[in-house]
Amino acid sequence: MTRWSFVLLALLAMPPAARAQDAPAAAKPQSESAPAPTAAQLPPAARPPFPNRANNVMPSWLRVRGEFRERIEGFENSGFAADRDDSYALSRVRLNATVTVSRSLSLQANLHDARVAGKQVGPTTAPFRGPFDLRTAFADIGDAKAPVAARLGRQELAFGEQRLLGHLAWVNTGRSWDAARVILRTKSWQADVFGASLVRSLPDAFDKSGSGNRLAGVYASSPTVIPQAVVEPYLFWRRDVNLRSELAMIGDLSQTTMGVRVAGRLPARLDYGVEMAIQRGSLAADSVSAWAGHWQIRESLPGPGAVKLASEYNFATGDENPADGRRQTFDQLYPTGHDKLGLGDQVGWRNVHHIRQGVEFSPIKATPVSLNYHSWWLAERTDGLYAASGTLLARVAGGAADSHVGQEIDIQISRALTPQIQLAAGYAHMFAGAFLEQATPGASYSAPYLMVTYVFLADK
């Protein structure tokens, strides 16, 4: 898409902004996220030029916050079919209100409105469109240091790198759950225990949970098991109803996912991340037997530019025989799958071998640029290719002649113009491999985007 090239060039050429800040540190666990500082708490040079003064006239126990996001995106050759192109605009507004009753009790609600304009190819419902609705509404009982705390109500579930459970903030509608969660804390570990039902985004009705889907689990974290590392074991149980089995029966799914994530530092400016999970269970008369893994190592180079080099390998099992009553395709559950296995989001964590080589640098302060190369192969030729959403994209009946899916080159750049306004742009180009040439028309796929996010900050 040559019409998008000027966007990336313009962003790369932007001069440093006087109020630009360094990239934020890694986010705290969701249950311990602290409120953002008000404008008055920021140093003068970092105070927003367009402050939200609503909190100045409100009592101290009531805080409001809002976000507006506009993204222009598109694609060429959707479904790997030539000339199946589209471009459209995604608009999203979120308004948040927090009522602090006491140190150990607060109430929070978030309303959102998501719209799409100009989309011609494919659906225009969720995840693109979700008119005015209640995204979250929950009560927090206990403060961030209490040994026992709880969050009750409609909420996000996001753990680790969100490879299995995430809020899916990239898409216009996002993801939330009607859930009850208990947080247990000691000096050496924390555990989140929850039971939840996925909220379905209904474009013309109030969003609802239920319909037989259930998710329960425990996600623990400890920084003391391995030196200079955090260890995060977890166990999830998923239930769903009225699903078709490999043996053509309709039945209920009962599936357990057990895994662990480890992230830490090594000598020589290296850091690493590892996550592995296995699945067992049943769907009607079918048995479930699958597993997946993620391995990454990254080096931070000395000198200017904040250069980081990363190498990554991801694997997820596929199904050797789609009619033998043994389900071997890994279920990636409910991830924030965007850019996990490629910016184009054409490949998910199912039936795949994936390698990534990447570099991130900042040619201008507080303006990170990332370049990544990806290559994928099917784990089993008898299974298919699944998108980042988990949806089956392509399969060859009887098995593919070649397992190589394709290759992709990605570029992304972001820039904080002010503490309130963030720009980001990216471009992905995927070259079809032998599998896609057999299973689809085999055209290369491209996907660009340009996004601006404006966050309202309190001025008090």
Domains of the chain, earliest start first: 2-456 (2.40.160.100)
Residues 6+ apart with CB under 8 A from 60: 100
Classify residue 438 by its DSSP letter. Answer: H
pLDDT of residue 43: 53
Band (pLDDT 50/70/90 cuts) for residue 460 is very low
**Residue from 409, 404, 389 nearest 439 by CA:** 404
CA–CA distance, 334 with 29 (Å, rounded to integer): 18
For the segment 248-258, what is each residue's pLDDT rounded down to a tens digit? 899 999 999 99
**pLDDT of residue 24 exceeding 60:** no
Is the predicted pLDDT of residue 156 greater than 90, yes or no? yes
pTM score: 0.87
pLDDT digits (tens, 9 = 90+) for 332-383: 999 999 999 999 999 999 999 999 999 999 999 999 999 999 999 999 999 9
Distance, CA of 11 to CA of 429 (rounded, Å): 19
Mean pLDDT of 398-423: 96
pLDDT band at 50 (very low <50, low <70, confident <90, very high): low
User: Of residues 32 and 200, which shows the higher confidence score?
Assistant: 200
What's residue 11's pLDDT? Answer: 37
Q: State mean pLDDT over 257-261.
A: 98
Stronger pLDDT, 402 or 42, i.e. the higher one: 402
For residues 37 and 172, the model is more confident at: 172
Q: What is the mean pLDDT of residues 25-50?
A: 45
What's the confidence (pLDDT) of residue 457? Answer: 61
- The predicted-structure confidence for 95-115, as pLDDT tens digits, reads as follows 999 999 999 999 999 999 999
| Residue 187: predicted pLDDT | 93
Contact 393, 432 (CB under 8 A): no
- Give Rg (Cα) of the chain: 23
Q: What is the pLDDT of residue 286?
A: 96
Q: Say what the pLDDT of residue 40 is.
A: 46
Greater model confidence, 277 or 143: 277
The percentage of residues in the chain with a pLDDT greater than 90, rounded to a whole number, is: 81
The predicted pLDDT at position 47 comes to 53
pLDDT at 291: 98
Q: Identify the band that residue 152 occupies on the pLDDT scale cut at 50, 70 and 90.
A: very high
In this structure, how many other beta carbons lie within 10 angstroms of the beta carbon of residue 6? 9
Res 28 pLDDT > 50: no
262 Cβ contact list (under 8 Å, min separation 6): 226, 229, 230, 231, 232, 272, 273, 274, 275
Taking 60 as the threshold, does the pLDDT of residue 300 lie above it?
yes
User: 113-136: b or e for each residue (b if 16 or more CB lie within 10 Å)?
Assistant: bbbbeebeeeeeebbbbbeebebb
Mean pLDDT across the chain: 89
Question: Which amino acid does the sequence have at 136?
Answer: T
What does the DSSP assignment read for 109-160?
Answer: EEEEEEEEES--SS--STTT-EEEEEEEEEEEES-TT-SEEEEEEEE----T
